[in-house]
A and B are shown apart, each in its own frame.
Chain A
Amino acid sequence: MGVDQISVFMENREGRLAEMTKLLGERGINVRALFVADTADYGIARMIVDQPQKAIDVLKADGYTVNRTQVLAVEVPDRPGSLSGILSMLNEAKLNIEYLYCFADPERETALGIMRIEETERATELLRSSGVRVLEAEDVYSILK
């Protein structure tokens, strides 16, 4: 139900993100989605990759600080207002979203929302019961090709 997201602590210095993605590329790990949260001094790179455990091993072996976080991948119909409907539903159920990033997938006329949320299970049940498609990990990898 949850999707493994990999987070990497990154100092804000030149070329650091390039170094990391290069390392993953060399080891045959495909990054499907990447989002960087940043502050003045450091950033957190959040990624969905096709081989999460391998990515963690590779990064740790190279000295990166890595952790694995469960996130929800939600299919959002690609039309105005659909995301806000989902967010209102979560809000009414008092489920707080820590962060969220979205991608449009024009070919399939949907978008994908990756969200870090409290009480992943309750959120999944709520969304599914309301007809929102919550994706399994494998689906995510195939969609984000």
Chain B
Amino acid sequence: MYWNRAIECMDRDRLEELQLKRLKEVLARVYEKVPLYRRKFDAAGFDPRSVNALDDIKNVPFSTKEDMRESYPFDMFAVSLKEVVRIHASSGTTGKSTVVGYTRNDIAVWAELMARTLANAGTTSDDVVHNAYGYGLFTGGLGVHYGAEKIGASVIPISGGNTRRQVQIMADFGSTILACTPSYSLFLGESAIEAGYNPSKDFKLKAGVFGAEPWSESMRKEIEEKLNILAIDIYGLSEVIGPGVAAECKEKNGLHVNEDHFLIEVIDPETGENAPPGTLGEIVFTSLTKEAIPIIRYRTRDISSIIPGSCPCERTHARMARVSGRTDDMLIIRGINVFPSQIESVLLEIEETEPHYLLVVERKGHLDTLEVQVEVDEKHFSDEVRSLEALENKIRREIESILQISVDVKLVEPKTIQRSEGKAKRVVDKRQI
């Protein structure tokens, strides 16, 4: 099923013509409106008027998350706030989160792209979309919401949490499309069975759009069997637009990138050189139409590849393989991006602890847990359990307020967390995905 067949299946030459025209426009626009890009272009001796072919993009300097953080909050916006109708942000310590804005037109494009995504899973105006992505600064909830509304489906904006209620509503309201993280879908399935439901009989679910965290084919199989649905992988990141950057079709063999709005490249993360199709590398995106905050050659740190050849679904837009890893130390826990440095900055601000820590990530049942092991500082060691528990709670609250996910804090003996020259081992990820 297509939402916009004319675009999604358009002739490849015409698509590339459209991309080139839009690329020239956006490069000229950011050079004029965003000082950061002007500085970067000038420093690299790159003239935006020199672009005559899509391939010329390899001469354009990259942008990174650090650029976005340094531009906090609005310095990378290409329009004034008067034209911005929505602001989203990723979690981060003060002054360190990445902030993105949307003009009215950006929101319309986003809704279009999410309509395509949901239509890939077979969503029509007859469907009831159970949207368990978080609403708020996170782009997941509202992204799905606008796409589903555009299709004309009935949206249940249930957001995350309160699983028991989710299960009951799913049964009582007859939800047909589920939108959430893949791990949460399995947790929902199990909770439903525990509550006495038989998901195949008591639910009307037919498909789910799952993203915001890495998952595997075996997990897809488990979700499809447990909930008796079609499960498709969707991809996006707030810096690019949010969900809606790419999504699988029913072939479930690669995610079609919405190439009329985003230019995808795969590079060797070490050299920055473009990698040939089929080769794994770091995914780089350029937004072709975004108004509020265009991004140019943005290094996502996600590792994937472009799948060569055409797709039986007739869509002509390139397919990227399932994201298989990261080039940095970012963790995705229950759909939320977590950087060890965020936890480090919290610990540095708490006087009673040393910034020596270890993050232990596990998947218990189907939900991720994050344990933060912190060394007790000798100066502040109290022999009263009460004081130590108060310290644990203080650390937990501070970290939770930054990360927006719950964590367990475990105090450990000093000098027991491994020190190493250079890059310290800060993360133990025990998840089997």
Report A's interface with B, CB cutoff 8 A: 5, 7, 9-11, 37, 39, 41-42, 44, 46, 60, 63-67, 69, 98-99, 116
Q: CB distance A39 to B413 under 8 Å?
A: no
1/0 per position for B347-390, CB-CB distance to A under 8 A? 00000000000000000000000000000101001111110110
Measured in the bound complex, the distance between the Cα atoms of B410 and A60 in whole Å is 21
Say whether, besides A9-B376, A65-B378, A44 and B414 are in contact (CB < 8 Å).
no
A–B complex contacts, Cβ < 8 Å, 27 sampled: A7-B381, A9-B381, A9-B388, A9-B413, A10-B413, A11-B412, A11-B413, A39-B385, A39-B388, A39-B389, A41-B411, A42-B410, A42-B411, A44-B384, A44-B388, A46-B383, A63-B415, A65-B414, A66-B378, A67-B378, A67-B381, A67-B382, A69-B383, A98-B386, A99-B384, A116-B383, A116-B384
A39 and B411 CA atoms in complex are apart in Å by 11
Q: Which residues of B contact A (CB under 8 A)?
A: 376, 378, 381-386, 388-389, 410-416
Q: How far is B382's CA from A46's CA once the two chains are assembled, in angstroms?
A: 11
Enumerate the 8 nearest inter-chain pairs by beta-carbon distance, A residue then B residue, closest first: A7-B383, A65-B381, A41-B410, A65-B378, A69-B383, A63-B415, A11-B413, A37-B385
User: How distant is A45 from chain B, measured CB to nearest CB, in Å?
Assistant: 9
Secondary structure class of chain A's binding surface, majority of residues: strand
Contact of A65 among B386, B410, B413 (CB under 8 A): B413
A69: which B residues are within 8 A, CB to CB?
383
A-B contact sample (5 more), CB < 8 A, given A39-B389, A63-B413, A64-B413: A9-B376, A11-B412, A60-B378, A67-B381, A98-B384
Interface centre among A11, A65, A116 (most CB of B within 10 A): A65
A65 and B383 contact, CB distance less than 8 A? no
B376 adjacent to A44 (CB under 8 Å): no
Instruction: Report A-chain residues with C-beta under 8 Å of the C-beta of B376.
Output: 9, 65
Cross-interface CB contact of B416 among A11, A37, A60, A98, cutoff 8 Å: A11
Q: Are B413 and A44 in contact (CB under 8 A)?
A: no
Rounded to whole angstroms, the CA-CA distance of A124 and B18 in the bound complex is 88
Residue of A nearest to B377 (CB): A65
